[in-house]
Amino acid sequence: MMPCRPHFTFILFLFSFLGSYSVFSQIEEQEVLEAKREQLQKEIEQINHLLFDTKEKRGNVLEQMEALDQKIKVRRRLIAVSNEQSNLLNRKINANVSAISELRAELADLKDDYALMIQKSYQSKIQQSKLMFLLSSDNFFQAFKRFQYIQQYTDFRRQQGEEIVVKTEELTQLNIELSEQRKQKERLIAENRRSQRQMERERSDQQALLGSIRKNETKYAAQIRDKQRQAKEIDQQIERLVREAIAAENAASGKDDSDPSKFLLTPEAAIVANSFSANKGRLIWPVEKGFKSQGFGVYADAIYPGIKHESNGVVITTDAGAKARAVFRGEVIGILSIPGGNKAVQLKHGNFISTYYNLSTIYVKKGDRVEAKTELGDIYTNRSNGRTRLKFYLHQNTSKLNPEEWVYQL
């Protein structure tokens, strides 16, 4: 049977390692979920602050409808994350209940063994007659063996006592953790109930707004079409300006046979491009604070889901007086004044271009080299609704990129 022990020991070690890994992975998952929950709560607070603070600045009914739709989407994500946290806590609670049950059984066995050992020790009176036990030996070898036995017995008794103390402490700590986990789960459930009630109120407000819109359907449908047209025109102008910037840069290099859809990269520009690419998902926000009020790509209209809109960038809503800032080091290759719109700044990062649109004042000029966080200009605040919005675009050569994949937690 002896050859099997190493294999058995390895299996025990493996299960122990996997158990520890599971605990650590659960802790890490809990921390990630908590960070997500806090981020979503902040986003809701920012939406309330930037879009719903005063009735005077709520904008028209269409804008209120879009703002409510945005808030409901964030609220739904918050509830989903809280549910994930609650489910994870359930698993941890169940694991702790099982561990407590096992520890109690181990502790009971240890106490029984210890009590039996003390009882036998008392009955044999070894503690009171150690010397006589040694002196009654027939020879030195027997006395030495008896001395070893007494030492081993004493050590074992001490170890049993220490193990009881350790197991008792483990049990106490697990009970404390279990109590805290149950409280945390109760807090999450209470918060989720509040979020559900708040979302129902927001849905009710949304339905009331929808009712008022449908009374004037022709008017609002025309407004939506006009908004679509304006957004499309701005996106097309940004695309045209990107192509023109590439053509101008390549023409300056003196190479007429270059691809008009791609930058000709110098060794220095290639280093910047590679560095920009390596920072995918970690770029800073183009504003100091705010929230994404419109994502990238095709999306359904908040009022008429059958109507689809397309956005080649993202819209970030921020505070009045906020500044646009560079997301990465680069060179200013364009200061744009878009007909029917506001101003924009284009930065080149190797063969990447970042565009910051809807600026009222520009702080930089063409040819300037800037670092990350360099302020580029004031973001325009709409006087009719008090909203301050930056539209941010990313391109690699002429290819549109989704900024949500590049900017950290956008």
Q: What is the 3-state secondary structure (H, E, C) of 86-152?
A: HHHHHHHHHHHHHHHHHHHHHHHHHHHHHHHHHHHHHHHCCCCCHHHHHHCCCCHHHHHHHHHHHHH
- Give the per-residue pLDDT at 15: 46
Residue 223 lies in a domain: no
- Give the per-residue pLDDT at 391: 92
Please tell me whether residues 296 and 177 are part of one structural domain. Answer: no
Please tell me whether residues 38 and 152 are part of one structural domain. Answer: yes
Q: Considering the entire predicted model, what is its pTM? A: 0.59
- Give the per-residue pLDDT at 20: 46
Asked which of 215, 248, 268 is the last residue of a domain, the reply is 215
Residue 222 lies in a domain: no
Q: What is the CATH number of the domain that holds 341?
A: 2.70.70.10
Asked which of 182, 215, 248 is the last residue of a domain, the reply is 215
Sign, CA dihedral 165-170-175-176, equals positive
Residue 3 lies in a domain: no
Please tell me whether residues 155 and 297 are part of one structural domain. Answer: no
d(CA 391, CA 387): 13
Residue 5 lies in a domain: no
* Residue length of the chain: 410
Please tell me whether residues 320 and 288 are part of one structural domain. Answer: yes
Low pLDDT (below 70) residues in the chain: 1-27, 30, 41, 43, 45-63, 100, 103, 107, 110, 112-165, 167, 171, 174, 216-217, 219, 254-258, 302-303, 339-341
For residue 125, what are its two tokens?
Answer: 């009176």
Each residue of 375-386: pLDDT tens digit?
999 999 887 777
- Give the per-residue pLDDT at 332: 93
Yes or no: say if 58 and 48 are a contact pair by the CB < 8 Å rule. no
Crossing angle of helices 61-124 and 5-51, in 10° steps, is 150
SS3 397: coil
Burial 171-183 (b: 16+ CB within 10 A, else e): beebeeebeebee
Phi, psi of 323 (to 5 degrees): -110, 145
Q: What is the 3-state secondary structure (H, E, C) of 232-289?
A: HHHHHHHHHHHHHHHHHHHHHCCCCCCCCCCCCCCHHHHHHHHHHHHCCCCECCCCCC
Yes or no: say if 378 and 321 are a contact pair by the CB < 8 Å rule. yes
Domains in the chain, number? 2
Residue 109 lies in a domain: yes
- Give the per-residue pLDDT at 279: 93
Residue 57 lies in a domain: yes
Please tell me whether residues 311 and 349 are part of one structural domain. Answer: yes
Residue 344 lies in a domain: yes
- Give the per-residue pLDDT at 155: 61
Please tell me whether residues 37 and 166 are part of one structural domain. Answer: yes
The contacts of residue 189 (CB under 8 Å, 6+ apart) are 86
Residue 339 lies in a domain: yes
For residue 92, what are its two tokens?
Answer: 């941890």
The domain in which residue 93 lies consists of: 12-215
Please tell me whether residues 210 and 346 are part of one structural domain. Answer: no
Sign, CA dihedral 207-208-213-216, equals positive
Please tell me whether residues 244 and 211 are part of one structural domain. Answer: no
For residue 401, what are its two tokens?
Answer: 């990129």
To which residue do tokens 């809503």 refer? 317
For residue 245, what are its two tokens?
Answer: 């910037």
Please tell me whether residues 66 and 178 are part of one structural domain. Answer: yes
For residue 358, what are its two tokens?
Answer: 């809807």
- Give the per-residue pLDDT at 18: 46
Please tell me whether residues 74 and 129 are part of one structural domain. Answer: yes
Each residue of 98-128: pLDDT tens digit?
776 776 777 677 676 666 666 665 545 544 4
Phi, psi of 394 (to 5 degrees): -135, 135
Please tell me whether residues 261 and 160 are part of one structural domain. Answer: no
Q: Nearest 10 degrees: CA dihedral of 67, 72, 75, 80?
A: -140
For residue 113, what are its two tokens?
Answer: 């063994």
d(CA 5, CA 54): 74
Asked which of 155, 190, 215 is the last residue of a domain, the reply is 215
Please tell me whether residues 179 and 310 are part of one structural domain. Answer: no
